[in-house]
Amino acid sequence: MRHWIAAAVGIVALSCGAAMSEPLTLLYDPFEARSQLRSLGAVASNFMISLVEFQELAEVAKKKFGDTAKATLRGNTGTIEITLDGKVVATSMATARVEEVFGALFVGRSRADDDMARFPFSLSVSGKPGRSDGVGEMVRKRFQKHKPQLFDFNESDWSSLACWSQEAPAVDTGSSKDVRFGKPALCLVRWRRGEGKTMLIGALTADGGRWVSDVSRPICRALAVRWGADPNLRDHTIDYVGCLLVHDPNHGALGAASTVAHHVYEIRPDGELALIN
């Protein structure tokens, strides 16, 4: 049985969704359609650190430096320090597996628009269930002090219509490089204030190396197309699709800015996706 330290608790509930077995094909299109809208994102993540790995490193340190060597885990950074007589003699980074991404995506005519539609979310990318309530409060608590005008909403302004998961997709990268996806977690989020808008937000991990971040846009576009065809959406009209790709899932201690890429798309009346910058 493996033991873990949680940096924070995962907080989203998922239900089973349809499996889609066709492999993703990445299309590198520098001339892809662009929306006239603008988007913003406030994204954070929680991670887990394996105590087994820490204990193994502590044993190695004792064999190398002697029985007085001490291993200390800095849980907030994932750093393991080996000290001898109070002096740091070695450091290493523990595997800090991203378990959850949360925050809010915003869409409007301009980024200075205080009336941007807001879409709070919390999505588990570990395959484990979490909670589906308290998301708005958690997101405001985490981000409101940085941009208070964007987080001045309450629970009556938005709703999570449904959440579910899909099977992990295969991908055709068009090269010898390999990437392994986790199961996508999806939520349909409705912004009620004003004219009202709906966004389908999905998140998943992608194990393959740092290069995955360089192709996050074509990956997210292919995923957005697939997610938009999900049978769970048959009775819903979707305005936007948000994609969160955890491209470095074993280094969650580095923070979401270094490990998570996000892209947002407008769905035009003809069904075409237009990237929102």
Specify the pLDDT at position 221. 94
DSSP for residue 251:
B
Between CA 47 and CA 190 the distance in angstroms is 27
Left if phi > 0, otherwise alpha if psi is -120 to 50, otherwise beta: which for 54?
A: alpha
CA angle 154, 35, 265 (to 5 degrees): 60
Reported confidence tier of residue 31, pLDDT bands at 50, 70, 90: confident
For residue 159, tell me if it sits in a domain: yes
For residue 199, tell me if it sits in a domain: yes
For residue 2, tell me if it sits in a domain: no
For residue 152, tell me if it sits in a domain: yes
Burial of 30 (0-12, 13-18, 19+ CB in 10 A): exposed
In a shared domain, residues 82 and 167: no
In a shared domain, residues 85 and 181: no
In a shared domain, residues 102 and 235: yes
Strand (E) or helix (H) holding 223: helix 216-228
**Boundaries of domain holding 174:** 8-47+95-276
DSSP for residue 195:
T
For residue 3, tell me if it sits in a domain: no
Q: Per-residue pLDDT for 38 more than 90?
A: yes
First CA to last CA distance, the chain: 45
In a shared domain, residues 61 and 191: no
In a shared domain, residues 57 and 43: no
How many independent structural domains does the chain possess?
A: 2
pTM for this structure? Answer: 0.85
Between CA 263 and CA 116 the distance in angstroms is 16
In a shared domain, residues 271 and 201: yes
Which range among 20-24, 57-61, 136-140 has the greatest average pLDDT? 136-140
For residue 167, tell me if it sits in a domain: yes
Specify the pLDDT at position 261. 97
Q: Per-residue pLDDT for 105 more than 60?
A: yes
Instruction: Please answer whether residues 166 and 243 qualify as being in contact, where contact means their C-beta atoms are separated by less than 8 angstroms.
Output: no
Between CA 212 and CA 218 the distance in angstroms is 10
For residue 1, tell me if it sits in a domain: no
Instruction: Please answer whether residues 198 and 239 qualify as being in contact, where contact means their C-beta atoms are separated by less than 8 angstroms.
Output: yes
In a shared domain, residues 37 and 141: yes
Specify the pLDDT at position 267. 97
Tokens 């308290």 belong to residue: 134
For residue 198, tell me if it sits in a domain: yes
Between CA 245 and CA 50 the distance in angstroms is 22
Instruction: Please answer whether residues 210 and 18 qualify as being in contact, where contact means their C-beta atoms are separated by less than 8 angstroms.
Output: no
In a shared domain, residues 79 and 215: no
Between CA 138 and CA 143 the distance in angstroms is 9
In a shared domain, residues 173 and 199: yes
Instruction: Please answer whether residues 101 and 125 qualify as being in contact, where contact means their C-beta atoms are separated by less than 8 angstroms.
Output: yes
In a shared domain, residues 108 and 167: yes
Between CA 225 and CA 23 the distance in angstroms is 12
Handedness of CA 73, 78, 83, 88 (dihedral sign): negative
In a shared domain, residues 15 and 32: yes
3-class DSSP state for residue 187?
strand
In a shared domain, residues 205 and 224: yes
Q: Per-residue pLDDT for 243 more than 90?
A: yes
pLDDT tens sequence across 147-159: 898 999 999 999 9
